Structure formats: C-alpha cells, structure tokens
Structure 1
Amino acid sequence: MRSPKERFSDLSPRSQALIRIGTVVQIGLQVAALVDIARRPASEINGGKRKWVALSFVNFFGPIAYFVTGRKTD
C-alpha cells in the first residue's frame, strides 16, 4: 500500500504519463461541453443550461453525458 504522502515525482514515468493524459482528456471534454452549452440555444438542450454546466464538472461522466443526452436531436 502506498503512503498518502507519495509525490507525483515518485510515481513511475508510465503512471505520470497516464495521469497527464487523463487530465488533458478531462479538461478537453469539459471545455468542449462548456463551449457547446454557451453557444447552443436553451431550446436545443435537454434540461437547463445550469444543470449541464454543473454536471460538466463531474469527471468524465458529466461532459460525456451532456454530449450523449443533453443535446436535442431532431
């Protein structure tokens, strides 16, 4: 079991790379969702804009859920 005070620099290069990649993907998804929410009229979003902005901050789940179910498709 790892100690709770382990530093990022103590991780293996592979672990560091995976954390960096995950961070970039998460931020990219969130920015894409927030930009889409801001640009899209409220009438084209299922639920309120505030709801989806808040949910976009829930790790990977929020932005992905927005793109799958939050946008109305005709």
Structure 2
Amino acid sequence: MARKSWKDLSPTARGSIVAAAAVDAGLRAWAGADLASRRGEEVNGPKWLWGTGLALVNSAGVLPVVYLVVGRRKAVSSH
C-alpha cells in the first residue's frame, strides 16, 4: 500500500488528523504543566522520566493520559 501525500487525503481525513494532533498537543500541555507544578513526592516515578517521555515519545495522546491517570499522587499535605 503506497503512502498518500497530504494533498491526496480527503478533507475529512485531513480534518481528523488535525483534530487528533490538537487533542494530543492539548493533553501534552496539560500533563506537562501539571508535572512542572508538582514536587517529586507527588509523582509516581521520576519526574525527569515523565518529562522526557511527554516531550519526546509520540504516543498519540496515550502517554499524557497515562501520566494524568496513574503518574500523579494525591497532594502531600504539609501539616
């Protein structure tokens, strides 16, 4: 099966790709901002590893969702 170029895709296919990229970018921004605002003890696993993964791994939105669901701990109370 030959790869199609952008111009060969239907408008619906182009729109779907753009929408998926926008959702992925939004999830990455949300997860990255959340990660940056947390202390190390509020994250399951090393912060640097989550940050690297969120920045470099192309996961079509899966990795940011995994971080938001299982990568965060409840805020540690300071009293």
TM-score, normalising length from structure 1?
Answer: 0.85
How far residue 51 of structure 1 moved from its aligned partner, in angstroms, is 1.4
Structure 1 residues without counterparts, runs of 5 or longer: none
Larger relative CO (CA 8 A, sep 6+): 1 or 2? 2
1:45 aligns to what?
43
Q: Deviations over 1:9-50 (max 9, x none)?
A: 210010000000000001111111111111111111111101
CA distance in 2, matches of 1:70, 1:45: 6
Partners of 1:9 and 1:28 in 2: how far apart?
26
Give me the TM-score of the superposition, normalised by structure 2: 0.81
RMSD across aligned positions (CA): 1.4
Identity of aligned residues (%): 32
Q: What residue in structure 2 maps to residue 30 of structure 1?
A: 28
Count of residue pairs brought into register by the alignment: 72
The equivalent of 1:65 in structure 2 is 66
Q: Distance in 1 between the 2:70 and 2:21 partners?
A: 23
